[in-house]
Structures are given as structure tokens and as C-alpha cells.
Amino acid sequence: MTEAPAILWFRRDLRLADNLALAAAADTGAPVVALFILDETDDPSLGGAARWWLHHSLASLGADLSRLGVALTLRRGPAAAALARIVEETGARRVFWSRVYEPAALRLDAEIEAMLRRRAVAAASFPGALLFEPGEIRSAEGRAFRVFAPFWRRAVAALAPGAPVRAPAALRAASAPPSESLDDLGLTPRKPDWAGGLREAWRPGERGARARLDEFMEEGARGYAAARDFPAREGVSRLSPHLHWGEIGPRQVWRAIARADAPRSDIAVFLRELGWRDFCHHILLAYPGLPDTPLDQAFTRFPWAQDDAALRAWTRGATGYPFVDAGMRQLWLTGWMHNRLRMVAASFLVKHLLLDWRDGERWFFDTLVDADLASNAFNWQWSAGCGADAAPWFRIFNPVAQGEKFDPEGAFVRRFVPELARLDAKFIHAPWTAPEHRLRDAGVRLGETYPLPIVDHAAARRRALDAFDSCRGARRD
């Protein structure tokens, strides 16, 4: 009699090392069916950049599994129905997977567990996407934290990451069921092919994640606390898409960085960034409406503007503020934006243009390779001033001052806004202040080769503060 296989259902854990679901499936000794399901009903908002990343990450995972003697089976459709069909086709008696902590994914887990129970199939799900399970870190009163600092103090005191689980040297392969081809999933752009910048910037997959971590430990961890705010430098890890897709686990990153040859102050600042990622997911669990509903209910009254032209200028990097535009063009070209620019660009949309933070949230979700529901929603609410642990609502970034401080020579702007590349650093963050002869020498014609500012900073700031005051019903101190 043929031995019943175990199904290993990959989700956002597209790696072999430190994958508890994979380790558990291997430990059974049963032949393994490796499965990925593209469930566009469960996650219909998977953006174009994320789809591109997923295609290449699956290609990498398939190659890694093949070296262990196992084929990666690809299916599409509602995950519960697709998984039920695979169980019937293979006669599997056990299913293993890693948990995803989004409202739709948690509902799906419950649906699948019930479906498997009806079929007398054992189900086992495992952590691995976060340092802590959402809801695990609570206040002394048992409530979810809404402020990061006390959350992180308690988390650090509780954290003791063990050694990552090694990838298995081999797996027993079950007879592979029919599979979709990766190309048939339609994850990559056809015509026009807009992904050239993504291909140049990234190496998706577990090996790419490990290489990125090694490079950061060697070149970026030392001095991280200061360098991370300067987008022209290689001062950040760029691990976010690898973490989002589970090509590397946060505990692997924690353990590696904690041992890096860098000052403890730099390491502590970096590890807080991992903690912030966890915090976003903890908030999403406590407030499932986070992607759509402001946590501060006063913001349900906010007088958001309707200005399609302004929104289009922002998405295209044509606001007339070079630091903002450079960040938005970096996003479009590479599928990623430096964190300093994410804050400045988000503040500009919400506070200079008075456009709804959910417009920005949707754009980021479509264009980021690391588009993560919890982090995207939480950070947009943080930028808008309506979320948990939000920046003071009256804090409005000056895009010129931000550029002058964090890109003082204009290197970042010159890279992504090449029409300003020949302009003096003195004027590059506010080209409208340059004398006409300086503009002419640099080949800049404001309003033609580069736009004039679509809003005046001082006037936009006054308008935003008035709007925030009216929304909250109280004046600022």
C-alpha cells in the first residue's frame, strides 16, 4: 500500500531554513507534497510589484526544493477548495503550514482547519513570520499596547531566540500531483514590461535574502543608527521584501545582527526596526479595521480633499519638491522606497495636499515589493496622525528642509530626478529659488523640464493645521 503523504503548504514562508512547518513535515518521515496556492480571492489586492517578486521567489523556492528531490506544485484559486482537491488527489493525511497574521488569513486558517477535520486529516500550523505571535506581548493589565516603547521593553525582556532550524538535507518526495506552470500564474508583467528597475535592484529568493543579510552585516550594520536616515548611502538593510515573503525569518535576522561586528548602539537601533514590524502586526490583530478605519475616531470627520491632479502628480513624482519626487520615482523604478522618504512622501500627501491617507496606502500597496498589510496600514495611519503611537498630528515635514538635512549634496535627487542633476546643491531641493542663469546653465526650465511646486509649503502647512484643528475640535498648544 502506498504511504499517505504529508502536504507542506507554503504561504509567506518561501524558504527552507528555519521553517518550522517544513521541519515538522520532514520529521514525520512521510513523503512530502510541496504546495503553493495563488489565492487571489483571499488577497485580491496583491500589487503589481509584489506579484513580480512572488514569481521570482517561487522560481527560487522551486529550484531549492528540486535540489532536495521534491517538486513544487502550483495551484490557483480559493485556498480552502484548492487544498481540499490536493488532499483528495494525493490521499494526504497531514497538512503543515506557517501562519499569516492578517484578518483574511486568520479566517482562512479556521476554514481550512474545519475542512481538514471533516476529512479526518491532521492539521498543524506554525509561527515564523514574526518575533512574537500577535497578542503575545501585552500590558500588565492584559491589554494590547498602543504605544511602541512599552511594547518593545516588554518584548525585549521576553525574547530569547534560539538557533535557527537547519534546512533538511533531503526530503522524501511524494508522487507530485498536476501543477500549474509558474508562467501560467500570470504574476509578471507582459507588455509593457515595466519591471526592468526591479530586476536590476533585487535578487528574490532565500539565497538572495541571505546574501543581502551578509552584505548588510559586513558593510551596513556599523554606523547604522546615523546612516539609515540618508537615502544616498547604503545605510539600510533592504531586507523588508525578503522578510515579507518569508525568504528569511526575523529570528534568523535577529540572531545574525545581534552578533554583528558593530557598536551595540547601532545593533539596538536596527533590532528596534524588527520590533516595529512586529508591533504593526500586533496592532492589526487588536484592530482588524486598521487598513480602512482611523484608530483616532476624530479623523472620521477630517475634511479630506478630492484632487485627482494632485494625487497623480504625487504618484508620478511630479510635485515640484525634488526630495519627495525622488522618493516617489525610486518607488516606481525599484519597487521600494527608503524609509526617510516614505515618511516625507506620506506627510506631503496627507498634510500638504490634504489627500486621504488611504489613497497613499493603496498606491504603496500596488507599487512596493515589500507591501505588507499591517506595516502599510499602520505606518500610513502613523503618518496621518490618526493611528496608534502616531506622530503628533501637527508635525508636518518640510520637504525642502528634509532634503537639505538628509541629502545635503543632492546625490539622491540627482539619481532619481536626473533633469536636476546639473543644478547646484545649494538650489537642488528648492530649484524655484535659483537665479535664472543658474537654472539655464543646468538645463532646467521650471514648468517645462521640471514642474513648479504644486503647493506652497507655508500656505499648505497653515491649511493643514486649520483642517486638523477643525477635525479635533481643539486648538494646538
Question: Where in the sequence numbering do the catalytic residues fall?
Answer: 273, 276, 304, 339, 357, 380
Burial 406-440 (b: 16+ CB within 10 A, else e): bbeebbbbbbbbebbbebeeebbbbbeebeeebbe
Record the cell numbers describing residue 238, joined without a space.
533592504
| Of 361, 359, 356, 351, residue with least CA distance to 393 | 351
SS3 sequence of the chain = CCCCCEEEEECCCCCCCCCHHHHHHHHCCCCEEEEEEECCCCCCCCCHHHHHHHHHHHHHHHHHHHHCCCCEEEEECCHHHHHHHHHHHHCCCEEEEECCCCHHHHHHHHHHHHHHHHCCCEEEEECCCCCCCCCCCCCCCCCCCCCHHHHHHHHHHHCCCCCCCCCCCCCCECCCCCCCCCHHHCCCCCCCCCCHHHHHHCCCCHHHHHHHHHHHHHHCCCCHHHHCCCCCCCCCCCCHHHHHCCCCCHHHHHHHHHCCCCCHHHHHHHHHHHHHHHHHHHHHHHCCCCCCCCCCHHHHHCCCECCHHHHHHHHCCCCCCHHHHHHHHHHHHHCCCCHHHHHHHHHHHHHHCCECHHHHHHHHHHHCCCCCHHHHHHHHHHHHCCCCCCCCCCCCCCHHHHHHHHCCCCHHHHHHCHHHCCCCCCCCCCHHHCCHHHHHHCCCCECCCECCCCCCHHHHHHHHHHHHHHHHCCCCC
With beta carbons less than 8 A apart as the criterion, state whether 381 and 357 touch: yes
Measured CA to CA, the distance from residue 14 to residue 37 in angstroms comes to: 12
Sheet holding 32-38, edge to edge: 72-76, 32-38, 6-10, 94-98, 122-126
